[in-house]
């Protein structure tokens, strides 16, 4: 036996076996199973009995080859280990399951090469569609899929005119900043991964700046920290960065509020602050992003921005279905985010949701 040969050689039951047992011809079995022609009730039940008896399960590869569609959908995420992406994937999986679509997952793990290799494989698999969740700076990979004729959907992201489902990042953060200003915060630090790669991160940052400008904040009141370390191990990176930086804020008059692009980054800052014994939210306040499960119960409760991953996933999937059926009305869907006020940063009560949940 060759080393690379599988021992999957066991005979599987085919449509022919079913046909034979039912005393009909394969195409009849196919028609019964797919309801693609009217079959007499008698033959129908004979066929179904044979299917049952042989425990027949149609071969999806053969079907795909013939039908020129696979009922496979590719989902490429930046990092399946992070709660946001995992929830997006879960949502798409849920929709797909109802539909008998299968999901081929591609986890870039923050690495462009991984993404490329994964997407190329998805193309070979002839996925009926490809949903990119997050990411950026990967035009070449998208082109590859585009040239292969794979319908593409962008989730939590925008790229050229590809159909997309996005959150209203800029406006939400602008609104957030205004609330913070109204609450009396004077000094602002924006803490995020570098924004060059991901457009949605850039939008958030711009919303941050816009909001402050509209409030009339001066340059001295604004500090910005972009750091590569905030990409992968966000908490650790954040803790390391702010363990040093944080002391500087103590000199300033008024409270420093940290606006971050991620709850985990916020936790790193909180951890650093606790270590230094800085009172929260008195001398230092923090706002996260994503509203992960823990954020409601962390002490202090984390003020953050919730994104409905389930809604994002569902919309991506539905957009995909529309695209492959050639019925696209609206190509760009924008979803609202929700500002959630808790203890880590005090927000004025009007207009935002106070969700303590307890």
Chain residues 41-80 in contact with DNA, contact rule CB under 7 A: 42-44, 56, 58-59, 62-63, 65-68
Sign of the alpha-carbon dihedral angle for 206, 208, 213, 218: negative
- 152 bridge partner residues: 130
CA-CA distance, 93 to 43, in Å (whole number)?
36
Please report where in the chains the tokens 């013939």 appear, as a residue. 66
C-alpha 158/C-alpha 164 separation (Å) is 6
**What span, in angstroms and rounded, lies between the C-alpha atoms of 30 and 34?**
6
| Nearer residue to DNA within complex by CB, 5 or 327 | 5
Residue span 55-74 as binding mask against a second copy, x where in contact by CB under 8 A, dash where not: x-xxxxxx-xx--xxx----
Q: Does 24 bind DNA (CB under 7 A)?
A: yes
Segment lying near a second copy (by CB under 8 A), choices 209-217, 228-236, 253-261, 329-337: 228-236
Number of residues that bind DNA (CB under 7 A): 33
The residue assigned the tokens 């990042």 is 169
Please identify, among the stretches 9-17, 154-162, 185-193, 341-349, the one whose residues bind a second copy according to the rule CB under 8 A: 9-17
276, burial (CB in 10 Å: exposed 0-12, middle 13-18, buried 19+): middle
* Residue 103 binds which of a second copy, DNA, none (CB < 5-8 A, kind-dependent): a second copy
Interface with a second copy in residues 103-132 (CB under 8 A): 103-107, 109, 114, 117-118, 120-126, 128
Give the CA angle between residues 199, 205, 207 to the nearest 5°. 105
The one of DNA, a second copy, none whose footprint includes residue 31, by CB under 5 to 8 A per kind, is DNA
3-state DSSP call for residue 223? strand
Nearer Cβ to DNA (29/306): 29
Helices (H) and strands (E) in the chain — how many of each?
Answer: 12, 12
**Residue 16 engages DNA in binding (rule: CB under 7 A):** yes
Task: Point out which residues bind DNA (CB under 7 A).
Answer: 11-12, 14-16, 23-31, 33-34, 36-40, 42-44, 56, 58-59, 62-63, 65-68
């Amino acid at each position: 036996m060759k080393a690379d040969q599988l021992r999957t050689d066991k005979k599987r039951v085919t449509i022919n076996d079913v046909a034979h047992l039912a005393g009909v011809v394969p195409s009849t079995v196919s028609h019964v199973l797919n309801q693609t022609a009217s079959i007499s009730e008698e033959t129908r039940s004979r066929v179904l009995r044979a299917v049952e008896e042989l425990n027949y399960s149609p071969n999806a590869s053969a079907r795909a080859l013939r039908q020129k569609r696979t009922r496979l959908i590719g989902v490429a995420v930046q990092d399946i280990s992070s709660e946001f992406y995992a929830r997006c994937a879960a949502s798409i999986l849920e929709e797909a399951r109802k539909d008998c679509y299968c999901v081929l997952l591609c986890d870039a793990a923050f690495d462009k090469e991984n993404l490329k290799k994964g997407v190329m494989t998805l193309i070979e698999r002839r996925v009926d569609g490809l949903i990119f969740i997050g990411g950026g700076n990967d035009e070449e990979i998208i082109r590859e899929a585009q040239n292969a004729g794979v319908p593409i959907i962008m989730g939590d992201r925008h790229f050229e005119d590809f159909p997309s489902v996005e959150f209203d990042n800029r406006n939400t953060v602008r609104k957030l900043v205004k609330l913070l200003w109204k609450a009396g915060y004077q000094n602002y630090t924006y803490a995020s991964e570098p924004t060059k790669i991901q457009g949605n991160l850039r939008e958030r940052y711009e919303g941050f700046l816009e909001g402050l400008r509209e409030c009339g904040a001066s340059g001295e009141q604004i500090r910005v920290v972009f750091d590569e370390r905030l990409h992968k191990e966000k908490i650790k990176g954040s803790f390391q960065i702010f363990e040093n930086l944080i002391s500087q804020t103590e000199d300033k008059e008024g409270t420093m509020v940290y606006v971050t692009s991620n709850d985990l980054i916020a936790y790193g800052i909180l951890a650093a602050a606790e270590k230094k014994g800085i009172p929260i939210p008195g001398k230092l306040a923090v706002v996260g992003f994503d509203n992960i499960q823990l954020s409601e119960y962390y002490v202090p409760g984390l003020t953050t921005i919730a994104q409905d991953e389930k809604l994002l996933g569902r919309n991506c999937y539905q957009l995909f279905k529309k695209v492959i059926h050639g019925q696209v009305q609206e190509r760009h869907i924008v979803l609202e985010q929700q500002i959630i006020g808790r203890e880590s940063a005090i927000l004025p009560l009007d207009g935002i949701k106070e969700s303590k949940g307890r």
